[in-house]
Amino acid sequence: MQRVIGVSGKKLARALALVTMLAVQSLAFAQASSDPTVDRIRSTSKLTLGYYDEARPFTYQGSPGQPDGYAIAICKAVAASLQEQLKMSSLATEFVQVQANDRYPLVKEGKVDLLCGPSVPTLSSRAEVSFSLPILESGTAILLRKDAPNSFRELLETGHTADRPVWRGSPMLAALQERNFVVIGGSLQEKLLTERRDELHVNSIISTVPDLATGVKMLLDGRADAFVGERSVLLDQANRNGQGKLVVINRVFDREEMAFALSRDDPDFRLLVDTALSQLYLSGKINAIYEQYLGKPDDATKTWFRRAALHE
């Protein structure tokens, strides 16, 4: 008898838990229906996605002139999930090209629902927009010419030279003196690079460029000694545009998580997007997307996606 009562109690508890979960989801859905972004998507049957035209391998102009890339593929999967979650018979997607200086204003103004050009959330950017669950663990790296001096490359890769550690004031820092580092203006890497230079008290030059192509050209022409940027982007540049002369050093600085920006005022839209991303990660479907644009994911990457997902 005790056993029967125990089983019934468990069933009752599960039933109550299920009812509670459905109630929470129903409430969330009801709240989403009054959400400005969701209302706009419902009324127009359209999801507006922002992207960069040259941020390989994340977003770029593919063939024939259509946005393509790792982040674009994830955004398309999110769009399919949103259509299902909102029970819409159809949902069109419109891509809007953005630049670094107008990406967040376009999200704030409602002209972009989801910024597929992934960004690293910072305190200042969180003052303007909100962010989804992360879509990738990012990191800052450095692109060099293969003929760069050994002492320069060794110092950047290991933080040591000639097996000796480098500290502020160290004579080994001579390898950094008057070196010209290029970085895209306004990027997180520009801020990190400036802070590190000031910390080490070296007179390295930091030159800002408007885009990847300009930075790579300066490096190939010998007008710059190193290009600092996001590691996956630099690897892609070295493979496609490096003419066999460029290499990304084997070191990652300042690991960060990249995410999609969305309206700061629409937490329920974020719930729908995060639900879509969690389903993508937990189902394992993310692995095929990752492999298509970034190479076969290793066990650590698969584990990272499972940990990044939110459970019911």
235 versus 277: which is more confidently predicted? 277
Average pLDDT over residues 6-31: 46
Residues 107, 189 contacting (CB under 8 angstroms): no
Q: Cα–Cα distance between 21 and 18 in angstroms, integer? A: 5
What integer pLDDT is reported at residue 18 of this predicted model?
41
Cα–chain center distance at 8: 47
Confidence of residue 173 (pLDDT cuts 50, 70, 90): low
Give the chain's mean pLDDT: 84
Tens digit of each residue's pLDDT (9 = 90 or more) over 90-138: 999 999 999 888 999 999 999 999 999 888 898 989 999 999 999 998 8
Average pLDDT over residues 263-284: 95
Q: How far is CA 75 from CA 79, 183, 225, 255, 312, in A?
A: 6, 27, 36, 23, 21
Q: Is the entire prediction scored with pTM above 0.85? A: no
**Is the peptide bond between 57 and the residue preceding it cis, with omega within 30 degrees of 0?**
yes
The kind and range of the H/E element at 229 are strand 226-230
Residues 218, 125 contacting (CB under 8 angstroms): no
Position 169 pLDDT exceeds 60: no
Helices (H), the chain: 2-33, 36-44, 70-85, 103-108, 123-126, 150-158, 188-200, 212-220, 231-241, 267-283, 286-294, 299-308
**Is the peptide bond between 118 and the residue preceding it cis, with omega within 30 degrees of 0?**
no
- Start-to-end C-alpha separation, the chain: 33
Confidence of residue 186 (pLDDT cuts 50, 70, 90): confident
Residues 19, 65 contacting (CB under 8 angstroms): no
Tens digit of each residue's pLDDT (9 = 90 or more) over 41-91: 999 999 999 999 888 899 998 877 789 999 999 999 999 999 999 999 999
What integer pLDDT is reported at residue 34 of this predicted model?
57
Q: Which of 87, 88, 45, 50 is nearest to 69 (CA)?
A: 50
Confidence of residue 286 (pLDDT cuts 50, 70, 90): very high
Q: Which of 160, 138, 110, 135 is nearest to 263 (CA)?
A: 110
Confidence of residue 171 (pLDDT cuts 50, 70, 90): low
Residues 256, 188 contacting (CB under 8 angstroms): yes
Position 16 pLDDT exceeds 60: no
Residues 294, 74 contacting (CB under 8 angstroms): no
Position 274 pLDDT exceeds 90: yes
